[in-house]
Amino acid sequence: MTNSKGYAVKHAKDNFSLWNFERREVGDNDIQIDILYCGICHSDIHQVRSEWFPGIYPMVPGHEIVGRITKVGQQVTAFKVGEYAGVGCMVDSCRTCDNCNRGYEQFCKTGAVYTYNALERDGKTPTYGGYANNIIVDQKFALHVSDKLPLAGVAPLLCAGITTYSPIKKWKISKGHKVAVLGLGGLGHMAVKFAVAFGAEVTVLSTSASKEIDAKNLGAHNFCNTKDKEQVKKYNAYFDFIIDTVSAAHDYDMYLKMLATNGVQILVGIPETPIQLNAFSLLSNGRTLTASSIGGIAETQEMLDFCAAHNIVSDIEIINANYIDEAYERVIKSDVKYRFVIDCKTI
C-alpha cells in the first residue's frame, strides 16, 4: 500500500483535520502524483455536508488536482516521472460501454468512478480526493498539464474549466450569440473566459453588485445586478443562452424569461433541492432548459490544451490546508475571487 495524508471530515457536520490513510500500490497502468495544488469546488461542500446524498466518510474531497509525477507503472506509456499531470472528477469507468467508447465517461452505463466520495469498481474500496499529498490514478484518467501556465491556476480547470467548456462546445456558442453567465463564482468566471474566447457577447447576471468591475476585467461586455428589477427588465427575452452556475435554489422563471426565442438555459449548478418552474416560462418563446455534467476525458484534455494555447487559467486565492473550513464559509457567502486553491505542500 502507499501511505497518504490528507484533510478529511469524519461526518457531515465535522470540521477538517489531518488524516493518514492508504492508497493502492502503483499498478502496471497507474501513475503516482505528488499533489501540488487542489481547487475547492462548491461540489466539495455539497458532498462533505451530504447535501445531495449521504456521503462516504471519512471523506477526503478534491477533484481539481495538479502535481508532479513521482512513479509510473510498467505499462505506462503516456506519462513520465517528473512531468506535471492533473486529475479531475473521475478516476475510472467501465471503458467498454457505448458512452465510454464515445468519450462520455461521465455517462458510463455502469457508473463512472468519481475521484472521491465513491467506490472503486470493486464495489468496496472508497476513493479519496485531492486535499492530500498524493494520488494514484490509472493513466487513462490522468491529464497532461502544460508547464507554460501557472500551475495553481490550472488546478480549477480540471472541474470548473471542463464543466463550463463542455456545454459551450456542445451548443456551439460563438460569435453572434448573446450569452448570460448566471452566478460569478468558480464555474461562472471560467464560463465568462471561455464564452469570450469563443467570440460571444457575454453578460454576467449576478446577485453581487460588487463584482461588476471583475466581470468586465474577465472580459464580460455587460453586467446585470439581478437584485435590481429594472436592470433585469432590460434583458427581457434577450439571451440565446444562459449558463446557470448557481449553487442554491433560485427563481428559474425569472431567468428563463430573459431567454430570446429558442433560447437555451444550461444548468451546471446543482442546488440541494429539486427545481420548480412554471411551464409557461418555457412555452413562451419555445425555450429549452437543459443541463450538463463535467466532460469526458478526451474533452478535458482538449480544454487544457485550449487553455494552454490561449493563456487561460482560473483566478485564484491560494490557501494553506488549515484554512479549508474558513474557505468553505467564504465560498457559501460568494466571497472568493474566484476559486480557492489549496497549496498541498502545507498538508
Asked if 128 and 22 count as a contact pair (C-beta separation under 8 A), the reply is no
User: Which of 218, 150, 214 lies closest to 190, judged by CA?
Assistant: 218
Query: Should residue 248 be labelled a site residue for ligand NAP when binding is judged by CB under 6 A?
Result: yes
Task: Count other Cβ atoms within 10 Å, centred on residue 38.
Answer: 34
Query: Residue 179 CB, nearest distance to ligand NAP (Å)?
Result: 15
Of the residues 134, 203, 225, 247, which one makes contact with ligand NAP according to CB under 6 A: 247
**CA end-to-end span of the chain:** 20
Interacting stretch for Zn ion, rule CB under 5 A, among 42-50, 300-308, 314-322, 330-338? 42-50
**Does 45 engage in binding with Zn ion (CB under 5 A)?**
no
Q: Count CA within 13 A, CB hemisphere, residue 231.
A: 13
DSSP state string for 80-144: -TTSEEEE-SEEE--S-SHHHHTT-GGG-TT--EESSSSB-TTSSPBP--SSBSEEEEEGGG-EE
By CB under 6 A, residue 183 contacts ligand NAP: yes
- Give 191-209 as a DSSP string: HHHHHHHTT-EEEEEES-G
Looking at residues 288 to 317 of the shown chain, list those that interact with ligand NAP (rule: CB under 6 A): 292-294
Task: Choose, by CB under 5 A, the member of 8, 76, 100, 113 that binds Zn ion.
Answer: 100
**x/- contact string, 54-93, with Zn ion (CB under 5 A)?**
---------------------------------------x
In the complex, least distance from residue 42 CB atom to ligand NAP, rounded to whole angstroms: 3
Answer for which of 48, 268, 307, 312 binds ligand NAP (CB under 6 A) is 268
Q: Does 314 bind Zn ion (CB under 5 A)?
A: no
Cα 48 from Cα 158, distance rounded (Å): 19
Residue nearer to Zn ion on the CB measure, 151 or 190: 190
**Under rule CB under 6 A, residue 184 binds ligand NAP:** yes
Give yes or no for residue 254 binding ligand NAP (CB under 6 A): no
| C-beta closer to ligand NAP: residue 19 or 340 | 340
Q: Using the rule CB under 6 A, is 193 a contact of ligand NAP? A: no
User: Which of 4/206 has CB closer to ligand NAP?
Assistant: 206
97: contact with Zn ion by CB under 5 A: yes
Asked if residue 205 binds Zn ion (CB under 5 A), the reply is no
Q: Is the peptide bond before 252 cis (omega within 30 degrees of 0)?
A: no
- Using CA atoms, how far residue 158 sits from 34, 130, 295, 318, in Å, is 16, 11, 10, 16
Asked whether the beta carbons of 287 and 67 are under 8 A apart, the reply is no
DSSP for 157-200, written as a single string: GGTHHHHHHHHHHHTT--TT-EEEEE--SHHHHHHHHHHHHTT-
Which residue, 136 or 181, is less far from ligand NAP as judged by CB? 181
Q: CB of residue 47 vs Zn ion: minimum separation in angstroms?
A: 9
Say whether residue 187 binds ligand NAP (CB under 6 A): yes
In the range 141-170, which residues lie near ligand NAP by CB under 6 A?
159-160, 163
Q: Which does 42 bind (CB under 5 to 8 A by kind): Zn ion, ligand NAP, none?
A: ligand NAP
The secondary structure element, H or E, covering residue 73 is: none
- Nearest-angstrom CA–CA distance, 161 and 329: 22
In the list 208, 222, 225, 281, the residue contacting ligand NAP (rule: CB under 6 A) is 208
Q: How far from 327 is each of 191, 222, 231, 319, CA to CA, in Å?
A: 22, 29, 31, 8
Applying CB under 6 A, the residues found at the interface with ligand NAP are 41-43, 46, 159-160, 163, 183-188, 206-208, 211, 245-248, 250, 268-270, 292-294, 331, 334
Applying CB under 5 A, the residues found at the interface with Zn ion are 41, 43, 93-94, 97, 100, 108, 159
